[in-house]
Structure 1
Amino acid sequence: MVFFRFPFSETLWTTEQNSASQNVSFHSFDQSERIDFDGDIKEISLADFQNLNFFNSNLSGELIDFQEENQTEYQQKLENIIDFIKENQLSKLVISRRKLVSFDHFSVDLKQTFLNLCKSYPNAFVYFFIKDEQCWIGAFSEVLGKFNKKTSEFETMSLAGTLRVEESWTSKELEEQKPVTLFIKNILKNFASEVEESETYDHISGNIKHLRTDFKAKIEKVELENLIAELHPTPAVCGIPKDLCQDAIGNFESHPRKLYAGYIQVETLENIEYFVNLRCAEFFKNAALIYVGGGITADSSPEKEWRETELKSQAILKNLEIKK
């Protein structure tokens, strides 16, 4: 079962298994896994959703022998990554970590956690699913793409750089966002004769903000899958150049990203939408793993990057509904 809410909406949706159509699918970062939810999309009332009961204690899978990467280990790894970035003259490489939340002495109300995220992040795509012993919850604002079936207009965004809302942008964040914007623009030019680009502006997401630039272009529907394949993974979740950075991620990260930094495809009557799966957590009977990451550049401070991932983890942590 899957439940989700679109950005800037209060309507909750699920899938109704009345057909073999696959209108909601989750794609892993490395494209090795795809989780489909069969059936047409249908609205579910808040009252009906609240009558459901989902607790982590009801899940069948357990997290066994997990060793969390501590601050010292993470910062030492980033020192090596910064050396790698300088040696290869990379503009950016995105590195992730997993934060452990143990449920030894309490349980989590998964349903209410989802609703808490909906309330905390009105401009985010928020989802919750349980299928084949997997349970994930996420809330994030980055759109990989949105295709209007009627007008053939495709929209996407460049989203990079992270600070607390009250802080001012530095050259590090500004330089981090530029290659993301250029990467997306160059790809769109291969699929459309004209590309519309907005000014760069602040995108607020709870207690943090990002730099954002929007793009619009008209494309042929038959090219949509090819375009998404070119865009994913974006520099915001991988780095530039894409192939080299993907290999580096595999070498430096000791864990599989699974669905983190992959994307979710949702098809409605009007649109086909693709959302980047960030600010998410994988839930087990006895624990949760919160996936967080950051864009590393030659000028990055390992200590500051650690603090940034801790800040990002609060998106899930502060919305967990605890039952003691």
Structure 2
Amino acid sequence: MNSVVVALQQLQLALNAEFADAPGLQQLSCAVTLSDASDALAWLTTQRLYPQFYWQQRNGDDEIAALGALRQFDTLAAARAFIADHADQPALRITGINAFSPDSSCLFLPRLEWRRTGGDAFVYLHLFSETSLQEDARAAQQFLAQLLPAKQLPMQRLNCVGEQHIPTQPEWNQLIERATAAIEQRELEKVVLARATDLQFTCGVSAAAFMASSRRVNLNCYHFLMVFDASHAFLGSSPERLWRRIDSALRTEALAGTVANHPDDHRAWSMGQWLLKDDKNQRENMLVVEDICQRLQKNVGAIEVLPPQVVRLRKVQHLRRCIWSDLAQPDDAACLAMLQPTAAVAGLPRDAARDFIASHEPFEREWYAGSAGYLSQRQAEFCVALRSAKVTNNIVRLYAGAGIVAGSDAALEWQEIENKAAGLRTLLTKTTF
């Protein structure tokens, strides 16, 4: 077994072999020894090659650090078609993010991928060319020659000098009035409305350090980081799975209904018990469950909805119901079309809710409330891109949303999005719980 450095050296040597002067796709791999010093995020974000994508499953069992794009895909359907065309490469993974509007993606086949599953880790080097693998092997050698040894992730000392909510609280109150009026008139059953908060700092913000801080304290979450270039990144720590597929087995969930968390375990438990019994939150969660089941029913077998659970996070607690089934055809593009956006991030009916958001929300969601993860021939997993932020040089845009149903109160919903945004905000402004 090898350190990452030794594994990369072995892959460099493997590139000295003879490769066909013809089109093709080839995957080279080398096992990596894990140690306390192994940090895929630190290794990835030390590099000065792009794009970069980091993703960790919420139970910590699956971790990806992907670097450089051999092929990029602007839809998940195109990525799925590429995998189908190369069915002889079952270990191939395509990684990245899907926008809130699921017909737009930033997915890529990485040149280099550091992948850990449980206690096993490998580095994969991909060669792909529509003309000559031999030429691409030379390009891969040049790519590997540019890699840098991993550095410790930097500690950030940030000074916030500006803050802007979009919408402002008075504008939010008006937005909730419009939404509840539409619900009363039966134009909608539910709409999920979001707020963007722009924080301006005196120096550039390290997206890698921001991600590392979030990963350290926001437990039981998926962690994802998409670095487009040296100045632009999107990241988050999300509690919610969009879907997981292993062969045809499908796992999804309804995560809706929120109450604050508390550092005192007994107080937190009491608040969680209230959440389990609260009519408004139970109604909000069941709307999502029913919508998911309706969307799945034509493409799956029997659907099993598990009893509700309380998911305790750093700043908030949520209601979750897991939904299990089997796909008639293991098609990830179909999963995306069926499940995104869910009622938990858009509303019901879905098309009417999306129209309301497009007409009334005063900012573009872009990647927020989309999804982040990977797909492969045998399995795929994407989380909902919540509790997320966009980093652009010295400006960080934080996103948070709340589900609006009949009886929603604007002040309470504002406090809910404050609580949700605090999971990332406190990492930047040094505010304690």
TM-score interval w.r.t. the shorter chain?
A: 0.7 to 0.9
Report what 1:122 is aligned to: 219
Distance 1:17 1:164, change over 3 A: same
Instruction: Choose the corresponding residue for 2:152, options 46, 51, 70.
Output: 51
Give the counterpart letter for 1:108 in structure 2: V
Provide the identity percentage: 22
Deviating beyond 3 angstroms after TM superposition, the runs of 4 or more aligned structure 1 residues are 16-22, 48-57, 106-109, 220-224
In 2, Cα distance between the equivalents of 1:299 and 1:215?
27
In 1, Cα distance between the equivalents of 2:210 and 2:294?
39
Deviations 1:168-198, CA, capped at 9 Å, x for gaps: 2221111111110111122222122211221
Report what 1:153 is aligned to: 249
Report what 1:102 is aligned to: 200
Instruction: Choose the corresponding residue for 1:33, options 69, 92, 104.
Output: 104
Q: How far apart are residue 280 of structure 1 and its match? A: 0.3
Q: How far apart are residue 123 of structure 1 and its match? A: 1.5
Report what 2:301 is aligned to: 193
Deviations 1:203-238, CA, capped at 9 Å, x for gaps: 122221111111111114444422320211100001
Deviations 1:31-77, CA, capped at 9 Å, x for gaps: 353212332531489xx6543669899xxxxxxxx774221111122
Distance 1:112 1:67, change over 3 A: closer
Report what 2:60 is aligned to: 9
Report what 1:316 is aligned to: 424
Secondary structure of the 2:427 match is: coil
Please list every run of 5 or more consecutive structure 1 residues that lacks an aligned counterpart in the other structure: 58-65
Larger Rg: 2
Matched, 1:283 2:379: no
Give matches, 1:287-306, under 5 Å. Answer: 287-306=395-414
Q: Which moved more, 1:186-195 or 1:283-292?
A: 186-195
Q: Relative CO higher for 1 or 2, CA cutoff 8 Å, sep ≥ 6?
A: 1
Distance 1:206 1:67, change over 3 A: closer
RMSD of aligned residue pairs (Cα, Å): 2.8
Q: How far apart are residue 281 of structure 1 and its match? A: 0.4
Report what 2:127 is aligned to: none
In 2, Cα distance between the equivalents of 1:275 and 1:255?
22
Q: How far apart are residue 16 of structure 1 and its match? A: 4.4
Q: How far apart are residue 271 of structure 1 and its match? A: 2.2
Distance 1:141 1:25, change over 3 A: same
Give the counterpart letter for 1:272 in structure 2: A
Deviations 1:262-320, CA, capped at 9 Å, x for gaps: 11231357520121100000011231110111100111000001111111111111223
In 1, Cα distance between the equivalents of 2:327 and 2:54?
30
Distance 1:50 1:79, change over 3 A: farther
Distance 1:32 1:155, change over 3 A: closer
In 2, Cα distance between the equivalents of 1:18 and 1:76?
44
Distance 1:175 1:116, change over 3 A: same
Secondary structure of the 1:260 match is: coil
Report what 1:63 is aligned to: none
Report what 1:62 is aligned to: none
